[in-house]
Copies of this chain bind each other. A is one copy, B any other.
């Protein structure tokens, strides 16, 4: 998606440790005009796929999931992050590791909102090694719902998570795919 790539080049900041800061338009401060375009593109990519719900994880995935949900006119559900694994039988749960915060956490969603009748589109802001996405996939599998695919704003392709999922036959659409980053430059996959 050209508009997003241009925005990354113009406003993104590369920090040591392969970190890409997009706080000025995707997190912390959200450019809603761009977000509407992103939602429209996700809707276009998955139109006719029978998506019944969008699933994301709090909190940075909520904005893009809501934008896509408003345009696709399907409900958005989000998994919550919990420190403890002390959860009761009314929820599905999966564990994941956050490289950003270097902690493990559990993602939790109520069984009421994710059911075997659902056709789920996963939506998130970033995809790197695929930890969060693998957790969400586990929640979908536990529920017996059908996984339609995933839509990601920015994929760090060089970290391999996206290609691993594609190799498993899962449809993963990323609106910007970063092939590599140097100290001064972001190079996209073509």
Which A residues form the contact surface with B (CB < 8 A)? 23-24, 28-33, 35-36, 53, 58-59, 62-63, 66-67, 69-70, 72-78, 80, 109-110, 112-113
Contacts and interface: CB of A to CB of B under 8 A. Distances in A.
21 contacts: A23-B110, A24-B113, A28-B113, A29-B53, A29-B112, A29-B113, A30-B66, A30-B76, A32-B66, A32-B69, A32-B74, A32-B76, A35-B66, A35-B70, A58-B59, A59-B59, A59-B62, A62-B63, A62-B66, A63-B66, A63-B76
Given A63-B62, A66-B62, A73 B33 contact: yes
A149 B64 CA distance: 25
A70 B36 CA distance: 7
A70 B80 CA distance: 24
Contacts of A74: 32
B110 A28 contact: yes
Given A28-B109, A30-B78, A32-B70, 6 more contacts: A29-B113, A30-B77, A33-B73, A58-B58, A59-B62, A70-B70
A30 B109 CA distance: 13
Contact of A66 (B24, B67, B75, B78): B67
A108 to B, nearest CB: 10
A24 B53 CA distance: 13
Nearest to A77: B29
Contacts of A59: 58-59, 62
A70 B67 contact: yes
A58 to B, nearest CB: 4
A24 B62 CA distance: 16
Nearest to A76: B30
B110 A30 contact: no
